[in-house]
Amino acid sequence: MQPENTTSPTRRRIMFGLAASGVALGAGAVGLRLAEAARTADFSHPAYAAWKKAEKAGLSDIEYMIVCAHLAPSAHNIQPWHFAVDDDMIVIHADLTRNIGAADPDNRQLHQSLGCALENLIVAAAHLGYRATPSIPEGPIGRQSIRLAVKLTKDRGAGATLPEGMFDAIFARMTNRGAYDLATPVPVPLRAALSGGITDDLVIGLADRGSADAAYITSTMRMAARDVVADEAFFRDSMSWWRVDRETLYAKGDGISLHTSEVPLVVKAGLQTFVSDEAWFGDFGRQGEIDGVDGVVGTTPLWGVIASKRKGLGARIRGGRALERIYLEATRSGFAVHPLNYAAEHPRSADVLTRRFGFPLEGEILSVFRIGKGSPLEPSPRRPWRDLIV
């Protein structure tokens, strides 16, 4: 068993940021970058508007359900979905053009992301007084087009099936990649609720900090981070969703960035100013990923792993639903969630974890996530939901 790393990720990142100041740009570019870095987030930008729609205000029920669905988490914030409306039915179509290439070769993460959107849609439907009946495509994984049709039936009692705060959590939820408070354990009722979304074809494993299983996940995660950044194609395709400056983040309304991390503003500004784009996409970015993972794994009170018993499209979508349910359960209890999937993405570490937890070999690891008490961070952007209706 390896000891867990308790160095604060923030400190590590500061040290790393300083060590990397050799990656400086020319004077003119530095001026421009300083100006950009000095700008704080503009949450009045349309890319953040949907997070404020906790009131339905002027939208139809169906439009509001689509707003809720598109606020769902997705791997790398790819938002791989379109929505079609057909009478009493909303159809979520997979947008396979938004896959992560070598970082998600058979769309495992994309499929789960669709499940996350489906879960939000079903929760929103219940809140608005509808029973939502989804048709989930089953069968082997292929490159087939995917449609998740959700039939809506008016049912005034539907809202009563929702635990308190579950709907509001759609708007408060975020991925929290920061350090979690090790002095605050995950309370027993929340632990019990985490398996509430798990269906018969899925399994969930939980591992507390200090346990042999947690130490195993931690060291496997560290190994996986090193394996994936060393994989040229994986790293390139993963980084194609990295948004360096705010302008690009706002304009694209997707992807991942430094801005949603808990790196202090001054360090963010320094990194933005002195680190060139080429450096982000090269060794600097690689080392940053490794340091980031090494830092946060040590600040995790509870780990969770979701696996399927048999590999298949339906199980992946239900795995995504379960993951989003976990996010919402944690959010409504004031806790944070962070999927950290390197260990699921790299075959060597996925195999190691499958055997360690005794998960069925015919299945696959779907998600590995951290859960704990974190400090609120910046929300992530979304593309305009109206543009996603086909």
Ligand X SMILES: Cc1cc2nc3c(=O)[nH]c(=O)nc-3n(C[C@H](O)[C@H](O)[C@H](O)COP(=O)(O)O)c2cc1C
Binding residues (CB under 6 A) for ligand X: these are 73-77, 109, 112-113, 116, 174-175, 177, 256, 338-341, 380
Q: Considering the complex, state which of residue 112 and residue 272 has its C-beta at the smaller distance from ligand X.
A: 112
Pairwise CA distance, residues 20 & 16, whole Å: 6
The DSSP letter of residue 76 is G
Q: Considering the complex, state which of residue 48 and residue 284 has its C-beta at the smaller distance from ligand X.
A: 48
Q: At closest approach, how far in Å is the CB of 76 from ligand X?
A: 6
Q: Which residues lie closer than 8 Å to 179 by C-beta, 6 or more apart?
A: 8, 9, 10, 262, 295, 296, 299, 374
Q: Considering the complex, state which of residue 73 and residue 372 has its C-beta at the smaller distance from ligand X.
A: 73
Q: Considering the complex, state which of residue 175 and residue 195 has its C-beta at the smaller distance from ligand X.
A: 175
Q: At closest approach, how far in Å is the CB of 87 from ligand X?
A: 29
Cross-strand pairs, 202: 308
Q: At closest approach, how far in Å is the CB of 118 from ligand X?
A: 12
Q: At closest approach, how far in Å is the CB of 158 from ligand X?
A: 25
Q: Which residues lie closer than 8 Å to 218 by C-beta, 6 or more apart?
A: 2, 4, 5, 297, 298, 300, 303
Long-range contacts: 30-35, Cβ < 8 Å, 24+? 30/273, 30/274, 33/272, 33/273, 33/274, 34/269, 34/273
- Name the token pair of 334: 């004031």
Q: Considering the complex, state which of residue 113 and residue 349 has its C-beta at the smaller distance from ligand X.
A: 113
Q: Considering the complex, state which of residue 341 and residue 349 has its C-beta at the smaller distance from ligand X.
A: 341
Asked if 304 and 357 touch (Cβ cutoff 8 Å), the reply is no
Q: At closest approach, how far in Å is the CB of 60 from ligand X?
A: 24
Pairwise CA distance, residues 32 & 26, whole Å: 10
Q: At closest approach, how far in Å is the CB of 109 from ligand X?
A: 4
Q: How many other CB atoms are there within 10 angstroms of residue 147's CB atom? A: 14
